[in-house]
Amino acid sequence: MKQMVPLIAALSLSAAALAAPPKPAPAKSPPEAGTAPASVFTPRTVKSTGTVTVEGRKIAYEAMAGTLIVHPKGWDDAAKPQGPKDAIGTADGPPVASMFYVAYFKQGADPRTRPVTFLYNGGPGSSTVWLHMGAFGPVRVVTRNDSHTPPAPYGAVANAYSLLDASDLVFIDAPGTGFSRIEGKDKEKAFYGVDQDVYAFSSFITQFLSKYDRWNSPKYLFGESYGTPRSAALINELETDRDIDFNGVILLSQILNFDLNADEPETNPGVELPYEIMLPTFAATAWYHHKLPSQPADLQSFLEEVEQFAMGDYAHALDQGASLPEDQLNAIAEKLHDYTGLPVAYIKKANLRINGPQFEHELQTDADLTTGRLDSRFSGPTMDPLGEEAQYDPQAAAISSAYVSVFNDYARRTLHYTTDESYNPEIDVFKWWEFKHQPPGAPFPLPVSVNVMPDLATAMKYDPSLKICLNGGYFDLATPFFEGMYEMHHLDIPQKLQSNIEYHYYESGHMVYANEASLKQLHDNVAAFIRKTDNQAGE
């Protein structure tokens, strides 16, 4: 979820992630990722068993909760510590990460041929509690569909939509999040960055394949929110640097090009695409809350109409800038009113350009309600009725406590993972995060907005059999669904490789699985994708 910094929630992109990050000043680690004892940096595994019924079939499984130790790129595994303070896991030693995971293996299946899927949320700075407890783990937290879930005790049920019917599952917490920890000299520089993060996950996956004899398994990546740019860069590194091909990459709530971010496009004047790409989500949200002057009966056909306007007349108007004639400005403002429900005067005052937080603040201002960012079906009391933008995300406020509370109980009682460490659902990494990224063919990391579209395109060309499954929610204002579609249509790949991409959209938000009906659809689509790409036809 939170991808709020999250995504939350991935699930998970905060506005801060897309603003120019401030240069980190010397500082101590955030409390969430505080100093951990050296014992944390010793690999650990705790085994348990369970059963879950999916699609009418009972599945017995083994659960492995544990940690794997990874090091940053360039680590010298032959170097010897000069003293006790220089040892691995100490403040003066080499940087090291203990990455926590929970793996679920179907009992009786051949590990050499059974599909395995690696799942993670985003942030950056988010754990994977959201996908684990909300989507595909064998136990699922119960939350309300589009309103605030009351406080504890929270409900949890056997997850009838677990992906265990199609694949073994490995839920991974990024360094510093969840029960994962980092330590050592310059540890933030070593692990908090686009490329550093990808290297850590690549190292984790490589170790996991050896530890659990999964080298010959059909393999998949599943990333949500910031987990989607991670996946795009990660699949390229796995293929081209480690010679590990994957059968497929599953993307949920996609953002690959941060120039398209919906939160603060006004900080990047002259780039108009974010306004165009988020308009269909504005329209879907206004439709859901019955704020349109005329309520269409069918959402999909309505959105197709809005998409054509967004990339046609609206795009042409924005491209003209200050030279747009007044009569055309008035006509576009009227049309935006028809599609968003916002007042014509407000739209004209905004010069036809309204960002996500402004829309969230204004759509239901007559009722002093703020509209959700991660899932715009949610609403909550407005913090500042006289403000310009939303001050919080009602969806994150509505469900986060349930996820975190249930997982902490589940980890200790069911998985038997006992520890004195706190589970960090998300941490603030933005003061350290290195947003420079070195795409394929670049001689060094580039000082521009993150764009991993070249990474995914390179991976698809390097392995023309790689398949992509894109999923998004119509009510996601963090990573608008139309953005993912636009990015895929603009990948630098041969036209025939476009057929390797499939698209699925849901009447839900950033965390598609927060709506149970959409969760079932998501499960069915992803399970079908795995079964038709695992190269085991007829099984």
The tens-digit pLDDT sequence of the chain (539 residues) is: 444 433 333 333 333 333 333 333 333 444 344 445 557 999 999 999 999 999 999 999 999 999 999 999 998 888 878 888 888 889 989 999 999 999 999 999 999 899 999 999 999 999 999 999 999 999 999 999 888 999 999 999 999 999 999 999 999 999 999 999 999 999 999 999 999 999 999 999 999 999 999 999 999 999 999 999 999 999 999 999 999 999 999 999 999 999 999 888 998 999 999 999 999 999 999 999 999 999 999 999 999 999 999 999 999 999 999 999 999 999 999 999 999 999 999 999 999 999 999 999 999 999 999 999 999 999 999 999 989 989 988 889 889 999 999 999 999 999 999 998 999 999 999 999 999 999 999 999 999 999 999 999 999 999 999 999 999 999 999 999 999 999 999 999 999 999 999 999 999 999 999 999 999 999 999 999 999 999 886 54
The residue type found at 327 is D
* CA 435 to chain centroid: 16
Give start-end residues of each CATH 3.40.50.1820 domain in the chain: 15-259+400-503
The pLDDT of residue 539? 45
Pairwise CA distance, residues 506 & 123, whole Å: 22
The pLDDT of residue 302? 98
Q: Which of 164, 100, 120, 145 is nearest to 10 (CA)?
A: 120
Q: Which of 489, 512, 524, 36 is nearest to 256 (CA)?
A: 489
C-beta separation of 17 from 255 below 8 A: no
The pLDDT of residue 38? 54
The residue type found at 295 is Q
The pLDDT of residue 86? 86
Pairwise CA distance, residues 494 & 72, whole Å: 34
Residue 92 CB-density burial (10 A; 0-12 exposed, 13-18 middle, 19+ buried): middle
C-beta separation of 6 from 122 below 8 A: yes
C-beta separation of 353 from 266 below 8 A: yes
The pLDDT of residue 483? 97
The pLDDT of residue 6? 39
| Helical ranges in 241-325 per DSSP H | 273-288, 299-309, 315-320
CATH fold of 15-259+400-503, please? Rossmann fold (3.40.50)
Task: Give me 323's structure tokens.
Answer: 């030279």
Pairwise CA distance, residues 518 & 523, whole Å: 8
Pairwise CA distance, residues 246 & 329, whole Å: 49
Element (H, E) at 462: helix 453-462
pLDDT in tens, 148-199: 999 999 999 999 999 999 999 999 999 999 999 999 999 999 999 999 999 9
3-state secondary structure (DSSP) of residue 510 = coil
With b for 16 or more beta-carbon neighbours within 10 A and e for fewer, the 342-375 pattern comes to beeebbbebebebbbbbbbbbbbbeeebbbbbbb
